[in-house]
């Protein structure tokens, strides 16, 4: 297969910029600079794919090229299944990936249907065409580490040691986010190629194949107050117990291996990666058994280090559930990162907002960076982030930027970007979207909705309403997925993307969508009884039909 790259520049190959944006973003998701395993259509997160198979990919491209401005393309688990006449102000693409009826919503049924070619794993932004490479998670990870620093280390992570595993599409953001906060970072991954990829991309500083060597380098850096990230080739379930033996206790401890998928994600310990891959081919049941056991061992080591004082948290890959299934009763003594560090942001509609320059021209993104500083001059953390991002983030595929923005600010920025496109200061339309991990777009009891105040963790009405509302408001494309970061049956979430092409119609869409979308985040948390959200709704003038427990 010849590598896929999104067209750059200002010429349309479709009948409108919304179709063109979907086309370029689909292709960008599969750009070898962006995707983890583009030849298999895998973008990130285990087997998160952009299209079901190559014939489906080509059919989507063909359909987008001929799609009229009042038509809508339907994608069912990465396959184009219909084109319907809707209306000009409606989305151009509607996507549903990996969704299964409740009782069948588990990996066994999923894999069975996947083997039959009937379904695909969409992760979050893979199947909904708004993944932007590791940058997508850098700011989230940076905010998480920084918040942990504020809560536990007086706001200063210099000289501190952060340990994690998994240097894949998402996990690869950790070393950079860590050094951005000033900390030292040890990242364990079984796959040397993944670590090399992070070094090439500027996300990780060094690679090591030997724990004492890695620790020595990190200790030297810590002593000198220098930030350093080292990728260690090894299996987390082997290396963490070794850390304990050596008496090393990290300051912050977490994990981003693909634990959500015990067969095609996590790699069992006590064997080489090559051996593991052969075993997976030969005997998937045995692979899964060993993989689950390794996750048990992995979490036991996390718990032991937590007991020795490491600030330990789960980073949204469902590792705790797998360990619990493997018999580690206390797995959920490790807190999740959302209730610990993220929920207060969700209450005001803040989340991983992002945009991409369809031109392919980095200058367009630098112009939006300046715009952010012009619009929000008083926001110091944002200023610090833009500054760091410009210096440290290498673009992958189409240039992009991520900023955690909240209700109000998103619409403000979106409209201002649209004006810059209109005036020509930005050379081509900008695509604006977000992760599915956002304020009002996900139900996931072991991650985004873990421990909700009213106990509504498992209620999935909210992400479905979010998708319907964004469709009603006229997003350019909208998606509903099952699975995401925690695996089949563990979450329901929705994505949305809207195109700023400098037209009046785009301005209306942006105003509506960038208000309804974070607005639902506020409403969801008001309904659950969060005071921050209630106060914010009051201040922002968001109409709440019934007060909590009216």
Among 65, 69, 106, 540, binds its own copies (CB under 8 A): 106
Min separation Cβ 549 and ligand NAD, Å: 29
Please list the active-site residues. 403
- Pick between residue 360 and residue 406 the one whose CB is nearest to ligand NAD: 406
Among 133, 265, 414, 429, binds ligand NAD (CB under 6 A): 265
Asked if 470 and 516 count as a contact pair (C-beta separation under 8 A), the reply is yes
Q: Which helix (H) or strand (E) holds 253?
A: strand 252-253
Tell me how far apart the alpha carbons of residues 464 and 466 are, in angstroms, rounded to a whole number: 5
- Between 135-152 and 173-180, two packed helices, what is the crossing angle to 10 degrees? 50
Which of ligand NAD, its own copies, none does residue 87 bind to, with CB < 5 to 8 Å depending on kind? its own copies
Tell me how far apart the alpha carbons of residues 463 and 34 are, in angstroms, rounded to a whole number: 27
404 to 37, 434, 475: CA distances (angstroms): 28, 9, 19
- Pick between residue 34 and residue 93 the one whose CB is nearest to ligand NAD: 34
Footprint of its own copies on 118-157 (CB under 8 A): 118-119
Min separation Cβ 450 and ligand NAD, Å: 12
Tell me how far apart the alpha carbons of residues 384 and 463 are, in angstroms, rounded to a whole number: 32
Among 16, 38, 45, 231, binds ligand NAD (CB under 6 A): 45
Footprint of ligand NAD on 245-264 (CB under 6 A): 256-260
Footprint of ligand NAD on 131-160 (CB under 6 A): 137, 140
Select from 261, 61, 246 the least CA-distant residue to 161. Answer: 246
Tell me how far apart the alpha carbons of residues 375 and 413 are, in angstroms, rounded to a whole number: 7
Site map (CB under 6 A) of ligand NAD, residues 465-504, x = contact? --------------------x-------------------
Q: Compute how many other C-beta atoms are within 10 angstroms of the C-beta atom of residue 100.
A: 16
Tell me how far apart the alpha carbons of residues 130 and 470 are, in angstroms, rounded to a whole number: 16
Per CB under 6 A, does 194 bind ligand NAD? yes
Tell me how far apart the alpha carbons of residues 347 and 330 are, in angstroms, rounded to a whole number: 29
349 to 54, 121, 367, 439, 469: CA distances (angstroms): 37, 27, 25, 5, 15
Which of its own copies, ligand NAD, none does residue 516 bind to, with CB < 5 to 8 Å depending on kind? its own copies
DSSP letters spanning 519-550:
HHHHHHHHHTT-HHHHHHHHHHT---SS-TT-
Among 91, 316, 360, 519, binds ligand NAD (CB under 6 A): 316
- Pick between residue 165 and residue 413 the one whose CB is nearest to ligand NAD: 165
Min separation Cβ 371 and ligand NAD, Å: 26
Min separation Cβ 367 and ligand NAD, Å: 28
Footprint of its own copies on 426-455 (CB under 8 A): 443-445, 454-455
Site map (CB under 8 A) of its own copies, residues 454-483, x = contact? xxxxxxxxx-xx-xxx-xxxx---x-x-x-
* Region near ligand NAD per CB under 6 A, out of 41-49, 301-309, 377-385, 508-516: 41-49
- Pick between residue 293 and residue 520 the one whose CB is nearest to its own copies: 520
Tell me how far apart the alpha carbons of residues 352 and 340 are, in angstroms, rounded to a whole number: 17
Min separation Cβ 492 and its own copies, Å: 5
Tell me how far apart the alpha carbons of residues 282 and 271 are, in angstroms, rounded to a whole number: 15
Per CB under 6 A, does 169 bind ligand NAD? yes
Per CB under 6 A, does 46 bind ligand NAD? yes
- Pick between residue 158 and residue 457 the one whose CB is nearest to its own copies: 457
Min separation Cβ 81 and its own copies, Å: 5
Footprint of its own copies on 530-549 (CB under 8 A): 542-546
Tell me how far apart the alpha carbons of residues 84 and 79 are, in angstroms, rounded to a whole number: 15
Tell me how far apart the alpha carbons of residues 77 and 57 are, in angstroms, rounded to a whole number: 12
Query: Would you give the end-to-end CA distance of the chain in angstroms?
Result: 59
Which parts of this chain interact with ligand NAD (CB under 6 A)? Answer: 36, 44-46, 124, 137, 140, 165-171, 188-191, 194, 235-237, 256-260, 265-267, 294, 315-317, 437, 485
């Amino acid at each position: 297969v010849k590598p896929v790259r999104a067209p750059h520049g200002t010429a349309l190959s479709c009948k409108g910029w919304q179709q063109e944006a979907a086309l370029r973003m689909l292709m960008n998701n599969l750009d070898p600079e962006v995707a983890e395993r583009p030849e298999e259509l895998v973008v990130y997160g285990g087997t998160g794919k952009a299209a079901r198979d190559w014939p489906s990919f080509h059919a989507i491209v063909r359909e987008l090229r001929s799609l009229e401005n009042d038509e809508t393309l339907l994608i069912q688990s990465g396959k184009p299944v219909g084109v319907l006449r809707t209306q000009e102000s409606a989305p151009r693409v509607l996507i549903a990936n990996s969704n299964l009826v409740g009782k069948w919503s588990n990996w066994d049924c999923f894999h069975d249907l996947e083997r039959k070619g009937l379904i695909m794993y969409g992760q979050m932004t893979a199947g909904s065409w708004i993944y932007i490479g590791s940058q997508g998670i850098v700011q989230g990870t940076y905010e998480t580490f920084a918040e942990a620093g504020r809560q536990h280390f007086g706001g200063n992570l210099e000289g501190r040691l952060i340990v994690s595993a998994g240097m894949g599409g998402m996990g690869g953001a950790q070393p950079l986010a860590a050094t951005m906060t000033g900390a030292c970072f040890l990242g364990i991954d079984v796959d040397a190629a993944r670590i090399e990829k992070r070094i090439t991309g500027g996300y990780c500083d060094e690679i090591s194949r030997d724990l004492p060597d890695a620790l020595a380098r990190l200790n030297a850096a810590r002593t000198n107050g220098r930030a350093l990230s080292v990728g260690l080739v090894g299996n987390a379930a082997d290396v963490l117990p070794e850390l304990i033996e050596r008496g090393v206790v990290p300051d912050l401890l977490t994990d981003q291996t693909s634990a959500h998928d015990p067969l095609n994600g996590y790699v069992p310990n006590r064997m080489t990666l090559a051996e593991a891959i052969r075993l997976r081919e030969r005997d998937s049941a045995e692979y899964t058994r060993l993989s689950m056991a390794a996750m048990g061992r992995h979490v036991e080591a996390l718990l032991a280090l937590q007991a020795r004082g490491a600030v330990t948290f789960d980073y949204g890959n469902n590792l705790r559930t797998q360990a619990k299934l493997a018999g580690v009763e206390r797995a959920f003594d490790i807190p999740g990162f959302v209730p610990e560090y993220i929920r207060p942001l969700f209450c005001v509609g803040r989340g991983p907002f992002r945009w991409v320059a369809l031109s392919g021209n980095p200058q367009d993104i630098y112009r939006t960076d300046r715009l952010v500083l012009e619009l929000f001059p008083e926001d110091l953390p944002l200023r610090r982030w833009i500054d760091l991002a410009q210096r440290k983030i290498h673009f992958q595929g189409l240039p992009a930027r991520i900023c955690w923005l909240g209700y109000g600010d998103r619409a403000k920025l979106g409209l201002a970007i649209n004006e810059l496109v209109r005036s020509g200061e930005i050379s081509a339309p900008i695509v604006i979207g977000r992760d599915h991990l956002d304020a009002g777009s996900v139900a996931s009891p072991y991650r985004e909705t873990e421990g909700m105040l009213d106990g509504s963790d498992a209620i999935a009405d909210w992400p479905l309403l979010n998708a319907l509302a964004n469709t009603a408001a006229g997003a350019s494309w909208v998606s509903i997925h099952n699975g995401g970061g925690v695996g089949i049956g563990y979450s329901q979430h929705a994505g949305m993307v809207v195109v700023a092409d400098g037209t009046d119609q785009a301005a209306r869409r942006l105003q509506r969508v960038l208000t309804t979308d974070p607005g639902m985040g506020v409403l969801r948390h008001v309904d659950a009884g969060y005071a921050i959200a209630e106060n914010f709704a009051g201040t922002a003038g968001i109409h709440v039909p019934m007060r909590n427990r009216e």
